[in-house]
Amino acid sequence: MANLRTKSSTQTVKKSNVTTGRKPAFRSIYAKAEIEEIFRRFSIQRPEPKGELEHVNPFTLVVAVALSAQATDVGVNKATRALFAAADTPQKMLDLGEERIRDYIKTIGLYRNKAKNVVALSAKLLLDFNGEVPQTREELMTLPGVGRKTANVVLSMAFGQSTLAVDTHILRIANRIRLAPGKTPDEVEQRLMKVIPERYLYHAHHWLILHGRYCCKARKPECERCVIADLCRSPEKTCDIPAPLIELSAKVIGE
């Protein structure tokens, strides 16, 4: 009688995934305790991290974030200081008009299209939301020029909701240190939301951005200044000794 070979559990899982078309569930290479320690250190280094886009109310925040696409926060702030002094509500922005808005933001990339979006989102806020910025992601994303990332930033900074807006810094960091690797911002966002401890979630967005902007830089990460150098699993890592765990001043953060 011929021997019957049983399929291994691995073979069964592989066949099941092929048949159903489902991807295996994501699992971080870091242990829960390691992730907890990573964000504990970030919380000591920057206890109350702040977004660097200047704004005076939820409306000007929406505009500032929409303008920041493919532009630096520093460049946006230089342009919007005068703009927001002239127009800090949807009605004032409409009264200003597209041509004058262009004059204020012409130093920002894609300023012509962005000026159109600012006018259009101001009009929609007045028409559909009584001039108030909505507090749900779905409603925010109905505004011209507002995508998921912008909506998440507004929900977090204006309304105190725990969201993760995956920009270029976070996309890079999540993949580089292998915390929550993914090909798209949405995929990285979903994975980060699963692995970041809930009590650290509110500030995680800013911690990761600031870490990427001032330490784990795009061209050359400064591992000797990194407080998680001993925990980091990046193949690019050049140092295993963590930097001293001290609170950073605003001056140091912005250097």
Q: Cite the active site residues.
A: 149, 167
Tell me the C-alpha distance between 209 and 98, whole Å.
32
Distances, alpha carbon 107 to alpha carbons 63, 90, 169, in Å: 15, 22, 23
Contact 114, 66 (CB under 8 A): yes
Structure tokens at 235: 């193949």
Measured in whole angstroms, the distance separating CA 190 from the mean position of its chain's CA atoms is 12
- Dihedrals phi, psi of 165, to nearest 5 degrees: -95, 110
Q: 208: alpha, beta or left, given left = phi > 0 and alpha = psi -120 to 50?
A: alpha
Which residues, in sequence order, are CB contacts of 234 under 8 Å at separation 6+? Answer: 176, 177, 178, 221
